Structure 1
Amino acid sequence: MASSLRLNQSYFSLSYSSSTPKPQRNSFAIVRCGPRDNRGPLHRGRILSIEAIQAVQALKRAERVNETQIDEFVSKTLSRLIKQDLLASLKELLRQDRCHLALKVFEVARSEPWYKTDCSLYADIVAALARKGMTEEIDNLIDVDLERDGLGAGEERGLSRLVKALTAAERTESVVRVYGLMKRCGWRSASAAASSTDEYVIKVLTRGLRRLGEQRVADEVEMELMGSVTGGKLDELSA
């Protein structure tokens, strides 16, 4: 009878285990998302809109076909993007070193009614062009585009970034052109409180010129600009 009881207990144990499912632990697969080539965020942490992503992808597809496809897409589509999406597309192309396409987008941005000179954006473009060795395009950007756009008020920080980018790219003539543009635009301090910012820009400019071997021009900058700033104001400068 003891043997029979043990058999019944074994049968009951097997039946219970087969009919009652065991509780399962919740398991989650860990998925890590990020750039596949260790590049930084797309737009300084800002997620590109669908429109901006589609614009970048379409431009890259058109580039693989021919120049005509790019021009057609630029004229028909890019001008419809809002300011934020157009600038985001431009910066994403610069991030990817697609400089040829970025210059196309920049031309569209410059034609928009909301556009005003942004020396920081010029600095970003110069840095990207320098990485690709596109020195002729750098000089053309300063000699043609920046000359046409001019320098607006409150550009001190962007102007210092631009001078640093041009100096790093060893574009001596372009740095001298920026100085000439400052003179022609009557570049001056917006207020007495901004004089320290102006002085910093002048120091960046003179150091860059000396680094590039333009000692005479650097001395001229100090004489014409630095003396006016330390005196409390900038006089009118002529070309």
Structure 2
Amino acid sequence: MASLLFLPHATRTPTPRAATPRPRTAGTITCGPRDKRGPLQRGRSLSTEAIHAVQSLKRLTAADRSPSAARVAASASLGRLLRADLLAAMAELQRQGHWALALAALHVARAEPWYRPDPALYATFVSSAPPSDPAAGAAVDALVDAFLEEKARGAAAPAEGPWEGEDVYKLTRLVRALVAKGRARAAWRVYEAAVRTGGLEVDECMYRVMAKGMRRLGLEAEAAEVEADFADWEARVLPPARGVLDEMRAREASGTGNDKATAAASNL
């Protein structure tokens, strides 16, 4: 009789249990990126080269942040950056409150072959100027002088003026920023060079910003001159527009009268 020890034992196969789904809470990450890219951010993120350049500039100027030392350090740290990285580093320095270092970065950008005087760029510098710094006002005035000097020698062709093709919206941003910072004389120099001397054709917004700003900052004579320029602009630009508007209103009135006559005839 065979021993029961040598008989094969039947093994039970475990029944697979259904996986219980875990409750998904708000903020739970269910799937991550499959490459080495970082998370997406709003706005333009700094490149690695720009981050290293900003850190190097701040480290080199930790002990001495005088304008001369900042320019030397900025030239060494930011001089090899591409255009987009240099502009991004400049904006990041302004965001962090290192306005003097951002000015040094602007000095580096001026030496680049791609640089063109952009009123929007200068408007950001004026808007981000520290209000409590007594030297910031003089620095803003120096920025305006540099901008006007760059525009004076930056004409595309001898036959064209330096303000030919200028973006009026960007220039209005610069003037508005100067008025908001209380730099009335600087705003007037920009307006006089671009509009009164340069012959730039601006819109109603520029005239209103300048007139209100000059009067609020105590320059009554300049405000009167701006209002006179605005009156001349209205006399030159608005009459054709008024003629078109009157013609459109006449057509609308005649169309309304014809509709009323048609409705009355249909009721009969």
Q: Same fold (TM over 0.5)?
A: yes
User: What's 1:185 paired with?
Assistant: 198
Partner of 1:85: 85
Which runs of 5 or more residues in structure 2 are unaligned? 1-13, 30-40, 152-161, 239-268
Q: Distance in 1 between matches of 2:193 and 2:140?
A: 16
1:125 equivalent to 2:133? Answer: no
User: What SS class does the counterpart of residue 186 from structure 1 fall into?
Assistant: coil
Alignment of 1:90-129 (within 5 A): 90-129=90-129
Post-superposition offset of 1:93: 0.8
How many angstroms does 1:72 deviate by?
Answer: 3.7
Q: Which amino acid aligns with 1:59?
A: L
Whose radius of gyration is greater, 1 or 2? 2
User: Number of aligned pairs?
Assistant: 194
SS at match of 1:148: helix
Q: Which runs of 5+ in 1 are unaligned?
A: 1-15, 17-21, 32-42, 190-197, 234-239
Q: Deviations over 1:92-130 (max 9, x none)?
A: 111111111000011111222211121111111011114
Task: State the distance in 1 between where 2:91 and 2:234 align.
Answer: 34
| Within-5 A mapping of 1:1-239 | 45-67=43-65, 70-133=70-133, 134-142=136-144, 144-150=145-151, 152=163, 153-182=165-194, 183-188=196-201, 198-224=203-229, 226-228=231-233, 230-232=235-237
* 3-state SS of paired residue (1:232): helix
Please, what is the CA RMSD of the aligned residues? 3.0
CA contact (8 A) 2:99 2:130 kept: no
User: Does the aligned pair in 2 maintain the 1:160–1:205 contact within 8 Å?
Assistant: no
Partners of 2:126 and 2:177 within 8 A in 1: yes
Identity of aligned residues (%): 35
**Structure 1 pair 107/137, CA: closer, same or farther in 2 (3 Å)?**
same
Q: Which runs of 4 or more aligned residues in structure 1 lie more than 4 Å from their structure 2 counterparts after TM superposition?
A: 22-31
Which one has a larger percent helix, Structure 1 or Structure 2? 1
How much does 1:44 deviate? Answer: 6.5
